[in-house]
Amino acid sequence: MSRPLPIHGESPLVSVRDLAVTYDGEAKPSVRGCTFSIHPGECVLLAGPSGSGKSTLAMALAGIIPRSVEGVVTGECWIAPSVSKPGKIGYVFQDPESQFCMHHVDDEIAFGLENLQVPRDEMAQRTKQALAAVHLHVHPHAAHARFSGGMKQKLAIACALAMESELFIFDEPTANLDPTSTRMVFAMIAELRKQGKTLLIIEHKYEALLPVVDRVIALNNAGEQVGVFAADEWRRLSQGESGTCLHPNPLPVFPTSSPDPVLALCDLALTYGGEQVWQGIDAQVGRGEWIAIVGPNGAGKSSLLETMAGLRRPSKGIVKFAGRAITGMSARERYSHIAYGFQNPEYQFLYEQVADEMASRVLGDDIPEDVLHALDEFGLAEHAHASPYALSQGQKRRLSVAVMMRTHADIWLFDEPTYGQDPASEAQILNRLLQLQADGKSIVTVTHDMNLVQTYATRVWVLAEGTLLYDGAVSELLERQDILERAHLFDDIVPLSDDGPDPSAGIAPEDVTTALQHAPKQPSWPRRSPVGKWHPDVKALTLLITAVVCMCCWSFGEAGRLWALVLVLAFAFGWCHPGKMVKRLLPLVLVYVIYLWAFAANAATPPGYRYVHWLWFHISWYGLNQGLLVVMRTFATVILAYVLLVTTDGTDFMVGLSQSFRIVPKMSYGMMAGMGFLGRFGHDLETFRMARRLRGREGWWILRPVTYALPLLSQSVRISERLAIAMEARGFYGDPANAWNGRTYYRQVSLRARDMVAGALTIATALVLWLT
């Protein structure tokens, strides 16, 4: 074992001795025997196979374990006071899907700055600089929910950069990034090192980083530290020059492919959210081919793969399998021929135990031998009883691929199949795909790994600029400099120098100033209605009290007068669109119609009131009147709730609770993050339905709301837990979380006298109309 390189003259920022981390409920530690120090200005690479505990060790060093994640940390772990304060450690998590607590780009970046108590006047400029540094060319107020995985990863890095932390921890920062973006991140890391920042990096494709890395801390499969190496020594070991081949990667032997198309794409186009994603896609997949789909982040590669699988309906064109339109095939027939792997492996998990996932049924404690053998082939046998959501990202990917391998499809569609894998695990997955190809199966993979493309693909599609720029041989693509530039496909493993990126490589990032000059322009926002300009929390309280008054109406005269007030608030002052309101509330209207019929047909009629006996119903005007009065009372509250939702920015509402009413941020911001599942509900439901359709578990339509409810709730709980961890990693603990004045605020939600007056007048009007 190599000894750490001695660094004299400065105390370490982080120092650990015999550190071990054991999660609650686990018998064995995930990481153990770690002894090392990280000094100011060092760039340290944390290396090891997938599932070796690299992320666990990083979270322990950042204090996330045990502060936010339950676990036991033993041994010594000393953190310098300068980095132990909130926000002094900038952390980029491995999973870009679950580290955002706000809804817009500028709010997301400003969240960390607020925790650092950065003055509000500085936040906008730091936000623009951070976005320019990662080349995320979106408007600062853009909603990031629909960003691609790579765009979300860039935003996560921008959040860390804006905080200007003392210690940066990057956990797989180039996951899901195209080659040019990967190169940009590596160059950014080199620049941070040049600035004297302290860096801890977890990265599987680290070769280009080694020139700027001072030391490498290596873990083995069991989570044990096996050594601390100089970068040159680690390069020799990783390349097998010392007799140890740490990264086996056997070369494939291609079978002969057939020109007969197994899948045909005919004039496909996709429009999403009113914007054209891509159009004019005409291509074919031959039997026995391995096609790689490449292109820049946000080009729509995942959407194209989903369309090919029949999971997303194109705006134009058709997809044919063996000459038949896939839309004319039943889901069971379609997915007996087509296998699909999501970019995020969690999307296709349906069970709460790894072995159950592999078997596609609930097994209990007794696991069949064939299931254990299949898990062992992918290095997952010891996790058979664990939750698939508790695995590392690399292990989740291996599990999703292993589950797919148990099907007998003709064409296999994979979105980033090697994401988060160490070289050995990557070779294992790719060799299994080669076996399928050798059996005459067709493989289509979305990937950003150009080495994989050159080594394995028989053909490559380049998707960029809203269309298919290239469809042909890999060797010919490498000669097309114009296509490589337009699609961000430059080689991402050109080594960096200590001074930053090599200008001769031709892919150095643009100057930040230039990037700022080309930032997207301010979009034109619609004018806000008078109700929309109210302080959101005053408005909520006003509409709530008005709704209570509406519920107290006992005559049609009272209800009619208050309905007039409700309609004035909705349309005259709230500017609600009548057509949109009817469309959105139509399901409730149908419920109320049934409710009204139930009252009219079943209400107990007092003596003296006439009724009509029909079948087993007693239909009366008395029941109809009583039902109509109840409907008027309750539906008025529904309209007021609708007005609140369409005229209120959720972020303003939660921020206003802390700014104006001095609610502790931990409660207000926590509510906003926890309620984020409402905004994700449509996406989560759509994805869950896709996964169940692929796995043949869609079920009878009338039972779907019941069968979907628990998994969706579990998903929301898991994401909320991860959000809480991500928020604390960005300094949301201590005073910034527990005191309303312990942070600064990017958004100013001021409590004005006119808001109070407007609220009081509205409530007074409601009371007068009720009491008159």
* Whole-number pLDDT of residue 506: 34
Please report whether residue 521 resides in a domain.
Answer: no
Reported confidence tier of residue 497, pLDDT bands at 50, 70, 90: low
Q: Is the pLDDT of residue 557 over 80?
A: yes
* Whole-number pLDDT of residue 508: 39
Q: Is the pLDDT of residue 702 over 80?
A: no
Distances (CA, A) of 259 to 256, 285, 321, 433: 10, 8, 14, 20
Q: How many CA atoms lie within 13 A of 444 on its CB side?
A: 29
Q: What is the mean pLDDT of residues 276-297?
A: 92
* Whole-number pLDDT of residue 175: 76
Please report whether residue 631 resides in a domain.
Answer: yes
* Whole-number pLDDT of residue 432: 87
Instruction: Provide the domain limits for residue 705.
Output: 536-771
Q: What is the mean pLDDT of residues 26-53?
A: 90
Distances (CA, A) of 27 to 57, 245, 367: 17, 31, 20
Please report whether residue 642 resides in a domain.
Answer: yes
Shared domain check, 425 and 560? no
- Comparing C-alpha atoms, which of 591, 600, 604 is closest to residue 625? 600
Please report whether residue 5 resides in a domain.
Answer: no
Shared domain check, 690 and 637? yes
Q: Is the pLDDT of residue 734 over 80?
A: yes
Percent of the chain past pLDDT 90, that is, above it, reads 35
* Whole-number pLDDT of residue 674: 60
104's tokens: 């817009």
User: 155-169, 398-412, 513-527, 646-660: which has the minimum mean pLDDT?
Assistant: 513-527
Reported confidence tier of residue 537, pLDDT bands at 50, 70, 90: very high
12's tokens: 């370490």
Shared domain check, 121 and 265? no
Please report whether residue 700 resides in a domain.
Answer: yes
Shared domain check, 290 and 176? no
Q: Is the pLDDT of residue 609 over 90?
A: no
Please report whether residue 449 resides in a domain.
Answer: yes
Express each pLDDT in 452-489 by its tens digit: 898 899 999 999 999 999 999 999 998 888 898 888 88
What average pLDDT is seen over the chain? 82
Shared domain check, 275 and 191? no
Express each pLDDT in 354-367 by its tens digit: 998 888 888 877 88
Q: What is the mean pLDDT of residues 113-126?
A: 94
383's tokens: 């996790």
Q: Is the pLDDT of residue 39 over 90?
A: yes
Please report whether residue 215 resides in a domain.
Answer: yes
* Whole-number pLDDT of residue 9: 53
* Whole-number pLDDT of residue 604: 67
Shared domain check, 294 and 203? no
Shared domain check, 652 and 564? yes
Reported confidence tier of residue 7, pLDDT bands at 50, 70, 90: very low
Q: pTM to 2 decimals?
A: 0.73
Q: What is the mean pLDDT of residues 36-48?
A: 93
* Whole-number pLDDT of residue 410: 92
If phi > 0 it is left, if psi is from -120 to 50 it is alpha, else beta; for residue 516 that is alpha
User: 168-182, 647-661, 704-718: which has the minimum mean pLDDT?
Assistant: 704-718
* Whole-number pLDDT of residue 50: 82
Q: Edge-to-edge, what's the strand order for the sheet holding 290-294?
A: 338-341, 411-415, 442-446, 290-294, 459-464, 467-472
Q: Is the pLDDT of residue 613 over 80?
A: no
Please report whether residue 604 resides in a domain.
Answer: yes
When divided into structural domains, the chain yields a total of 3
Higher local confidence (pLDDT), 704 or 108: 108
The domain that holds 317 is classified in CATH as: 3.40.50.300
